[in-house]
Structure 1
Amino acid sequence: MYPKPNTHYRVTISYESLPHNKKFFVVLVTGSNSGIGEAIVKLLAILGAQVVITDYFEVRNSRDFTGKVVLVTGSNSGIGEAIVKLLAILGAQVVITGRKETEIRKVSQEVLRLSPKGLKPLEVVADVTKTKDLEKLMSSTIKRFGKLDVLVNNAGIGVMTTIRDKDFITNFDNVFKINVRSGLQLIQLALPYLDQSNGTIITTSSIASLRPGKSPIPYGASKTTVDYITKALAVELGPRIRVNAINPGYILTDELVPFINPDRLSQLIESTPLHRIGQPLDVAKGVVFLASNYEDVKNSRNFTGKVVLVTGSSSGIGEGIVKLFSILGANVVVNGRKDADVQKVVQEIQQLSPYKLKPLGVVAD
């Protein structure tokens, strides 16, 4: 059950009621992105809780995915579950898939309640390591919806093993089969439909591809491979199909629980700039951003009344930044060393501004 928007809840927690003798417990905290709710989340996390943040309703107007069809592998739990829930509340038609039918059914019922138009998701039980299951997954999607706009390769596993373990090579092969091969094969199956929709491919990678550790060699190596494949496919398939990956750090999911204890969890929280561990919804928001087109971005933020100063904005990346901020309603300052370049961008920006706001042009070195 999800909290209704604009509804207040009273929760009383006594110190004696906290499960001190339990290794992990699950707590749902609404309004936990700031203030008292945020403080409760931090305290409970330090005590070993798996805190679930469900502020999907807070971003329900940030994008409009009405009419879009999104297939997310591994969407019966964890990060994938958060992705389909967020996309559903934004209006998308989603495909929920995984190996466990009971989990798929549970997520499907929750997604149906979140969908503003009551769109029923497609449920497909599939093992991504099996070619026939991948073919069934794609054919079922097209049969039901007639198209595909976004493919999210999210299914993956991690195995803690070292080179000295006798089963190291077996584990290595299994990890690559799920984390690398299955995604590539599904992309092949999806390409004809993504070509038609000018679609998007997004893969869940990991910070493990950038920060090696001594035990998860198969996992880190698989994610490094995913990163390379993403870059290569972006070159090969663009600009018709956009290809991106997201590299999360530690994300609080059921899959993470067996690998960390409360002390380690507390260390992770303290080591992050925001002093909190990542949530599946954090990754889901990144996926939604990457799946968005230009019109989605333009209509998703309001910078009216904001003043934005971007150095080096008379050309290149800086020019692109000030133009986007201007479209979103901000007053912008265009800066560069060449007056002609500055004035050219100033004139273009004034035309882009929905309120025809004239930027301030400053020639400066």
Structure 2
Amino acid sequence: MDYDFSNKVVLVTGASSGIGESTALLFAKLGAKLSLVGRNEANLRAVAAECEKQKGVKPLAIVADLGTDEGVQKTAKQTLEHFKRLDVLVNNAAIGARTSILHETDMKVFDDVFRIDVRGVYLLTKLLAPALIETKGNVINVSSIAGTFVSVGSLPYGMAKAALDHFTRLVSLELAPKGVRVNTVSPGMTVNVMRKRALCATDIDDEFKQWMEGAKKNIPMGEPCVGDDIARMVVHIASEHSRLVTGTIVEVDGGLRFNNMSDALVTHVK
């Protein structure tokens, strides 16, 4: 299949690393005009520079915290002022957290996760929906299979992703008559910086590699996803090849959802 986004404006949140970085780079290779959002300015500008190298199209880099209304409003305003339109919104920005059992959980963790993973997505989509209606564009929310399968130690994160999945299904019905599609790509175990930080008490490569070696035994296809696996699915659903796909949760997980989710995520975590 050929994918061409040369006349499209694509906004990718959480673009400074991981899945967001991979998604931004792939859209850049396909000629998209990019608005990239992240909190880490140095990383974000490095990703933007790599994207520009692909087709010579300079992205708009927006440093913003999407856990705040100000950051969300800044993102929407600057994107529309710069490009005058929007065709694809990729809501990828999120934070994860490993937590203890319910009655020992710090409510700040809950609030932080929901501010970025749910409220930020809700508000940004709300603000940009009129622009997407004008272009008959589409929204891709990046969720997680943790929103469907329970895992001890990830209660706020799993709840937030379940909320995001429901948001996709409901908003897709609201916007379908307007010609806007809304879908979710739901990764399984994915090698990225966020997972490394969430699962390891220290940022030590050997510890993370040990965890991955143990955890991937629970994946039926034998290996975890990488950012490019998720990015390719995001692009496919955002493209005209998926023109009648909406309200759908697409899992990219190597079959992990069919296995024991709790064991897969807890194994080898110290």
Q: TM-score range by the shorter chain?
A: 0.7 to 0.9
Q: CA deviation at 1:256?
A: 1.7
SS of the residue corresponding to residue 120 of structure 1 reads coil
For the Cα contact (< 8 Å) 2:140–2:182, is it kept in 1?
A: yes
Structure 1, unpaired ranges of 5+: 1-60, 298-365
One-letter amino acid of the counterpart of residue 229, structure 2: D
Structure 1 counterpart of 2:162, from 224, 227, 245 = 224
Where do 1:1-365 residues align within 5 Å? Answer: 62-115=2-55, 118-164=56-102, 166-239=104-177, 240-258=179-197, 259=199, 261-294=208-241
Structure 2, unpaired ranges of 5+: 201-207, 245-270
For the Cα contact (< 8 Å) 2:96–2:195, is it kept in 1?
A: no
| Aligned-partner Cα distance in 1 for 2:39–2:2 | 32
SS of the residue corresponding to residue 162 of structure 1 reads coil
The structure 1 segments of at least 4 consecutive aligned residues displaced by more than 2 Å after TM superposition are: 162-168, 260-264, 267-274, 294-297
Q: CA deviation at 1:293?
A: 1.1
SS of the residue corresponding to residue 151 of structure 1 reads strand
- Bigger share in helix: 2
Q: CA deviation at 1:211?
A: 1.3
Normalising by structure 2, we get a TM-score of: 0.83
CA distance 1:197–1:273, change in 2 (3 Å): same
SS of the residue corresponding to residue 225 of structure 2 reads coil
Partner in structure 1 of residue 257 of structure 2: none
One-letter amino acid of the counterpart of residue 77, structure 2: S
Q: CA deviation at 1:277?
A: 1.4
For the Cα contact (< 8 Å) 1:68–1:148, is it kept in 2?
A: yes
One-letter amino acid of the counterpart of residue 180, structure 2: I
Superposed CA offset, 1:98-143 (max 9, x none): 111111111011111122xx00000111010221221111111111
Superposed CA offset, 1:48-68 (max 9, x none): xxxxxxxxxxxxx83111110
Task: For CA contacts below 8 A with separation 6 or more, give which structure has more relative contact order.
Answer: 2
Greater CA drift, 85-94 or 157-166: 157-166
For the Cα contact (< 8 Å) 1:63–1:296, is it kept in 2?
A: no
One-letter amino acid of the counterpart of residue 227, structure 2: P
SS of the residue corresponding to residue 10 of structure 2 reads strand
| Aligned-partner Cα distance in 2 for 1:122–1:195 | 22
For the Cα contact (< 8 Å) 1:75–1:97, is it kept in 2?
A: yes
CA RMSD of aligned residues (A): 1.8
Normalising by structure 1, we get a TM-score of: 0.62
Q: Percent identity, aligned pairs only? A: 36
SS of the residue corresponding to residue 124 of structure 1 reads strand
| Aligned-partner Cα distance in 2 for 1:295–1:289 | 7
For the Cα contact (< 8 Å) 2:76–2:128, is it kept in 1?
A: yes
Q: CA deviation at 1:176?
A: 0.7
| Aligned-partner Cα distance in 2 for 1:224–1:168 | 20
| Aligned-partner Cα distance in 2 for 1:295–1:262 | 36
For the Cα contact (< 8 Å) 1:74–1:80, is it kept in 2?
A: yes
Q: CA deviation at 1:95?
A: 1.0
Partner in structure 1 of residue 261 of structure 2: none
| Aligned-partner Cα distance in 2 for 1:269–1:162 | 23
